[in-house]
Structure 1
């Protein structure tokens, strides 16, 4: 039974600090003073008789006790929020499926799955809309752990943040090095790694799982990153930058397959990865079981089997 001394304001303060890793930013998000949020956390720690946060050079981080509370409090607050929303939406049946999407699935897997999902809705099989949030794996997985997302889809097996979340593999997706079709290296076979650093690169930002693979590639080939970089997870920005310059783009194959087939981009004759990373679905097993979430996961499995795997 929940300790009667624990109030909703304690849990809201805890979850906001856990998400933002900062008392100041959490206080701003909740529109209360920083002493007020500090007091709420201190009271909660006194009730639980254990520290929930520890200070670091980057802000605050969760203790083991804090991680345990987060694993349960996040989904519980999400369930409460859904209950309140369900009452407000009962007159028109409005429901939402919240999905975190990594760049590896933005171009093909997820759009096709959502189109199929909406077709099923039009046929009267469900009445659930879809909300998609994009970003780095660490950000999306933290929101999943808080219960703010129903699932995260993409390549993330290398992500340290998965922890006690559940990951289901769908298929392997490699990173490739591409350039515009008229690029000086487009017709060179084979391409030496040392030739790449003469050109700007479009790469994922630091602290992402895809950037870890870029760094590993440089180490394997004894090269350093070129002096000019575009760091972004935006596929449109990377595409236009690559198409209109001599930049090289290290991208998920799924993100550029159509441009490669149309001849707008060219994959360089230098393999970036032998097999690629595991793309799949990450869910929070501590969240209440959802038939809607399970149904969309099955849609993702079908699309992965029918459209992605044959092309890889």
Structure 2
């Protein structure tokens, strides 16, 4: 039985502090004072008989008790929101999905899945897409703030107790503009790459780990000019207008390479690539809409595999 001393506001405050890793930022997001949110968390800790946060020089960190509560409180709040939303959907006929998208699926898989799903969905349907690093998206999925995360994420430590389903493998490739000094050179020595700017994923991302491994294997140091971003649009334009070497998901460059705007260098960053798939929170019962959307992703993945054996 739920402790009568624990109110919804306690859990909402707890989740926001866990999300922001800061009492001050959480208070700002919830539009209350910092002493107010501190008092709310203290009341929750007293009701539970456990400390939920440790204070650190860089903010706050969840204790083991805090992690345990987070694993259950996030999905519980999400289930409550779904119940309230279901009542609203019953009146309006609208269906919404909240999807986390990694850059590996932004160019083709996810847009096509959304298009096909909305064509077959009954009534009004919408998809809210959130982008960002895998750690950020998976943490939101664990808290019940997303229904699904799609992309290459098997290397992410944050995947832990979430359910991952493999769809296909996707390579990271090295691409440059047409007419680049290294375009068409084969074999290509790795030492020649450091003379040019690089566009690569930011540090602490799973894709960056593959880049760092490449540099270690070839005994190279990172070049002096770097553009660190997960934005495909920015990366594409910067690469086309400069001599930069772009570390890109193969899907994101396929059309530009086929059209002759970009070309892949004759030096593989990785051979097989990483596992692209869909990740769900197994503590939450999937809606019929989510199951239909996942089935659409599976069908498109099968087409991808068939088209790129």
TM tier, smaller: over 0.9
Is contact 1:53-1:60 (8 Å) kept?
Answer: yes
Q: Select which of 279, 285, 289 maps to 1:288.
A: 285
Is contact 1:100-1:140 (8 Å) kept?
Answer: yes
Say yes or no: does 1:131 pair with 2:109: no
Say yes or no: does 1:43 pair with 2:43: yes
Say yes or no: does 1:61 pair with 2:58: no
Correspondence for 1:233: 230
Distance in structure 2 (CA, Å) of the matches to 1:88 and 1:119: 22
Match of 1:219, SS state, is helix
Correspondence for 1:180: 177
Is contact 1:109-1:308 (8 Å) kept?
Answer: no
- Give the gaps of 5 or more residues in structure 1: none
Distance in structure 1 (CA, Å) of the matches to 2:221 and 2:134: 25
Correspondence for 2:101: 101
Is contact 2:117-2:292 (8 Å) kept?
Answer: no
Once the two structures are superposed, the pairs formed by residues 3-18 of structure 1 within 5 Å of their partners are 3-18=3-18
Distance in structure 2 (CA, Å) of the matches to 1:4 and 1:271: 60
Correspondence for 2:298: 301
Match of 1:241, SS state, is helix
Say yes or no: does 1:24 pair with 2:21: no
Correspondence for 2:264: 267
TM-score between the two structures when normalised by the length of structure 1: 0.96
Distance in structure 1 (CA, Å) of the matches to 2:119 and 2:17: 39
TM-score between the two structures when normalised by the length of structure 2: 0.96
Match of 1:206, SS state, is coil
Say yes or no: does 1:168 pair with 2:168: no
Once the two structures are superposed, the pairs formed by residues 112-261 of structure 1 within 5 Å of their partners are 112-121=112-121, 124=122, 127-261=124-258
- After superposing the two structures, state which structure 1 stretch, 270-279 or 40-49, moved more: 40-49
Q: CA deviation at 1:97?
A: 0.6
When the two chains are superposed, the root-mean-square deviation of aligned CA atoms in Å is 1.3
Match of 2:92, SS state, is coil
Distance in structure 1 (CA, Å) of the matches to 2:106 and 2:302: 17
- Give the gaps of 5 or more residues in structure 2: none
Number of matched residues? 309
Distance in structure 2 (CA, Å) of the matches to 1:92 and 1:252: 39
Match of 1:91, SS state, is helix
Distance in structure 2 (CA, Å) of the matches to 1:308 and 1:21: 41
Distance in structure 2 (CA, Å) of the matches to 1:54 and 1:309: 50
Q: Against the structure 1 CA distance between its residues 280 and 289, is the aligned structure 2 distance closer, same or farther, given a 3 Å change threshold?
A: same
